[in-house]
Chains A and B, each alone.
Chain A
Amino acid sequence: MTRIFKHRLVLPIAALVALVLVNTISRPSFVSITIRDGQLYGSVIDILRNSAPLMLVALGMTIVIATRGIDLSVGALMAVSGAVALTIIDGSGSPDSPVTLTIAIIAGVAVTLVFGIWNGFLVAVLGIQPIIATLVLMLAGRGIALLITGGFITTVTSTPYKFMSQGYLLGLPFAFYVSAVAILLVAVIERRTALGVLTESVGINPEASRLAGVRSRGIVWGAYAASGLLAGFAGILYSSNIMAADANAAGQYIELDAILAVVLGGTSLMGGKFSIAGTVIGVFTIQTLKSTITFLGVPPAVSPLFMALVVVLVVLVQSRRVRTGLARLSAAVSSRKNPEVAR
């Protein structure tokens, strides 16, 4: 029993379960799922679908944070990939053809992959602080996206492009499959090969792992490249959801949501040990929280206030001072209950 409580995923899961419970009690329709034309509908399904872009970004962020880094540019990269893809579709004569679609997606993702490699170069080769190295693209990225779209919000009509975020496959939203495949791929690559362990060792002590023969430079570089790639796919999904490339709104604050999801999942910002399952839970928690806030009738604009409260709560629970304080408190309570034992 104590082993279960000591498991590091207990707190994240408890938070998610509590949130779901609160929702279910306040509106029983929350967990209900209706089937229409063989497709599932309901709040939970919405959460699965809407969380896909954040899921992709947060997975990349997990790897980057595990190397003791941070990637602030993901939101801007989302804007770039959406802008590239939609500009290509907009410029082509046949927006519905699969060839156009493939070219557009590959081009959009390739650009963000290059930007991710650039971030990795700054951090791993030049040794610049991750916050600042990625701040460069966070600043410049949206400007680049605006240049690509010519300062306008490019809108297109393309049924297959729309399908990616709004379509259904075998009863479930297609976007859900995208995030499931991403989770599987990242989990297999990181956990079924030595890469995950090597990433953790680089995060815990870069110098020691380099001396032990770990090629830390390549691992850190790869982490940023992966984050860029995943942000690119997230940008495609986002733009497919609204069928528009909005360089200013795409992925706004998503870097913060992603960092929060990673931290909620129990991965420390100090690098080292990371948990992909934790990040997945963290993403669902954030998406559920957002859905709750909307349900409560709070204007979406005020929702950052709730996010702030959650951030503060999470970091307080994680902080040593609060933990030792609670432990001391519970010890005092139990010793008062059983005075014989204490004596």
Chain B
Amino acid sequence: MSGTTTAVRDIGTGMRRFVGRRVSWIPVFAALGILLVLMLAGQAYFGTFITPRVLSSLLLDNAYLLILAVGMTFVIITGGIDLSVGAVLAFTAMLGARLLSEGLPAVLVIPVMLLGGSLIGLLIGVLIQFFDVQPFIASLAGLFAARGLAFLVSLSSIKVEDPLILWLQTKLFYLDGWFLSPTGIIALLVVAAGALVLHFTRFGRTIYAIGGNEQSARLMGLPVVRTKLLAYVISGACAGLAGVVFTAYQGAGYPLNGVGTELDTIAAVVIGGTLLTGGSGYVLGSMIGVFVYGMIKTAISFLGAEQSWTRITIGALLLVFVVVQRVIVSRSNRR
């Protein structure tokens, strides 16, 4: 009898120790829990919700958002924010579509798109790092600039007929009813690369250190300037890559693409457990956040309800997570 109580107590302390050591993972588990609840509730309600087809298209439809979220995670962990990603996506997509329609080969156009995105990211980083501009304002300037540039390329949409770009989306690898397109593979690779870089490289640890306390990181002799600049360049490059994926997804470039996508991205990253104050967060969490977002969208279209509910639900979910994070942070501060 006493043996069972000690065993229970052991499990209890073990749990507490586990939770105590991994406080920053709690929001990720919470997001995972919500994702599972959403899937189970959908399955119970619709009957045919968790099918390979639905889950596969979840990745396909949100590949661009996943790539954006990885870049955003880097920036937010340093304690910054990047509002420009949606507009940069639109700009690079337009640029790519225009260059392709002029007859340039895709193997040349894709690097140009990535470079364009990185360049805008670099400019934002320079404004923040060297001119003490707040990340919010600097990336706002980036948003305006990229949106204007997108319209400068063309005022109307440009159709893309390049076989390589279209192959990225239309080529489907089938396996038992599951399917995966090259865009999905690219997105998963970006997630893997992001996670590896953040956790197993000096650069990644510097990112966390800057978000924890920039002053301390500088005093420790960490390369703060270079790392912060690079974080924004990564976000810009991710936006460029998302532009490639989005062009493949839409089969065209349209200058009004991605309006409000920066908000969806930030919401997904926050739901995935990254603290907006910086210093804590995981790329895998952001991936779960994107899937939560996609799942809500899918569920709402299954319900046949208006898509305006997506934004309302995401807003409500964001609120819940922010409050939960607030409680976690104030608790760990008290300790």
Point out the residues of chain A lying under 8 angstroms from B12, CB to CB.
none
A304-B145 in contact (CB<8A): yes
Residue of A128, A140, A269, A301 touching B151 (CB-CB under 8 A) = A301
Asked if B101 is at the interface of the complex by the 8 Å CB criterion, the answer is: no
Point out the residues of chain A lying under 8 angstroms from B270, CB to CB.
132
Asked if A1 is at the interface of the complex by the 8 Å CB criterion, the answer is: no
* B-contact bits for A20-59, CB 8 A (1 contact / 0 none): 0000000000000000000000000000000000000000
Do A305 and B152 form a contact, CB below 8 Å, given A131-B276, A143-B309? yes
| A148: nearest chain-B partner, CB-CB | B308
| B81: nearest chain-A partner, CB-CB | A131
Q: Which of B266, B276, B308, B314 has the most CB of A within 10 A?
A: B308
B318-A312 in contact (CB<8A): no
B308-A143 in contact (CB<8A): yes
B131-A308 in contact (CB<8A): no
Instruction: State A303–B147 Cα separation when bound (angstroms).
Output: 9
CB proximity of A45 to chain B, nearest CB, Å: 28
Asked if B310 is at the interface of the complex by the 8 Å CB criterion, the answer is: yes
Binds B, one of A8-16, A228-236, A318-326: A318-326
Instruction: State A143–B276 Cα separation when bound (angstroms).
Output: 24
Instruction: State A269–B128 Cα separation when bound (angstroms).
Output: 14
B311-A315 in contact (CB<8A): no
Instruction: State A212–B180 Cα separation when bound (angstroms).
Output: 62
B152-A312 in contact (CB<8A): no
B263-A135 in contact (CB<8A): yes
Contact size range, A: 35 or more
Asked if B102 is at the interface of the complex by the 8 Å CB criterion, the answer is: no
Point out the residues of chain B lying under 8 angstroms from A122, CB to CB.
319
Residue of B130, B306, B312, B323 touching A140 (CB-CB under 8 A) = B312
Residue of B130, B134, B277, B309 touching A269 (CB-CB under 8 A) = B134
B310-A315 in contact (CB<8A): no
Asked if B133 is at the interface of the complex by the 8 Å CB criterion, the answer is: yes
B308-A316 in contact (CB<8A): no
A312-B326 in contact (CB<8A): no
Asked if B289 is at the interface of the complex by the 8 Å CB criterion, the answer is: no
B131-A147 in contact (CB<8A): no
A140-B316 in contact (CB<8A): yes
* A-contact bits for B301-334, CB 8 A (1 contact / 0 none): 0000010111110111011001100100010000
Asked if A164 is at the interface of the complex by the 8 Å CB criterion, the answer is: no
A301-B318 in contact (CB<8A): no
Asked if A183 is at the interface of the complex by the 8 Å CB criterion, the answer is: no
* A-contact bits for B151-194, CB 8 A (1 contact / 0 none): 11001000000000000000000000000000000000000000
A140-B311 in contact (CB<8A): yes
B315-A307 in contact (CB<8A): no
Residue of B131, B310, B314, B322 touching A132 (CB-CB under 8 A) = B322
Asked if A341 is at the interface of the complex by the 8 Å CB criterion, the answer is: no
Instruction: State A306–B266 Cα separation when bound (angstroms).
Output: 26
CB proximity of B65 to chain A, nearest CB, Å: 14
Asked if A84 is at the interface of the complex by the 8 Å CB criterion, the answer is: no
| Those of A118-134 within 8 Å (CB) of chain B | 122, 126-129, 131-133
CB proximity of A148 to chain B, nearest CB, Å: 10
B141-A135 in contact (CB<8A): no
Point out the residues of chain B lying under 8 angstroms from A187, CB to CB.
none
CB proximity of B256 to chain A, nearest CB, Å: 9
A144-B312 in contact (CB<8A): yes
| B277: nearest chain-A partner, CB-CB | A129
Asked if A146 is at the interface of the complex by the 8 Å CB criterion, the answer is: yes
Asked if A297 is at the interface of the complex by the 8 Å CB criterion, the answer is: no
| Those of A99-139 within 8 Å (CB) of chain B | 122, 126-129, 131-133, 135-139
Asked if A280 is at the interface of the complex by the 8 Å CB criterion, the answer is: no
Point out the residues of chain A lying under 8 angstroms from B142, CB to CB.
308
Instruction: State A308–B81 Cα separation when bound (angstroms).
Output: 17
Do A312 and B315 form a contact, CB below 8 Å, given A131-B81, A143-B309? no
Instruction: State A139–B314 Cα separation when bound (angstroms).
Output: 8
Point out the residues of chain B lying under 8 angstroms from A136, CB to CB.
315-316, 318-319, 322
CB proximity of A1 to chain B, nearest CB, Å: 29
B312-A143 in contact (CB<8A): yes
B263-A138 in contact (CB<8A): yes
A142-B326 in contact (CB<8A): no
Residue of B130, B141, B155 touching A311 (CB-CB under 8 A) = B141
B308-A146 in contact (CB<8A): yes
Instruction: State A312–B127 Cα separation when bound (angstroms).
Output: 8
Interface residues of A (CB under 8 A from B): 70, 122, 126-129, 131-133, 135-144, 146-147, 151, 247, 256, 259, 263, 269, 299, 301-309, 311-312, 315-316, 319-322
Interface residues of B (CB under 8 A from A): 81, 127, 130-134, 136-138, 140-145, 147-149, 151-152, 155, 255, 263, 266-267, 270, 276-277, 306, 308-312, 314-316, 318-319, 322-323, 326, 330
20 sample A-B contacts, Cβ–Cβ < 8 Å, listed by A number: A126-B326, A128-B323, A132-B322, A133-B322, A135-B267, A136-B319, A140-B312, A143-B309, A143-B310, A144-B308, A147-B309, A247-B308, A269-B137, A302-B152, A304-B143, A305-B144, A305-B152, A311-B144, A319-B132, A319-B133
Known A126-B326, A138-B263, A269-B134; 8 more pairs at CB < 8 Å: A127-B326, A132-B318, A140-B311, A247-B308, A259-B140, A305-B151, A306-B148, A319-B132
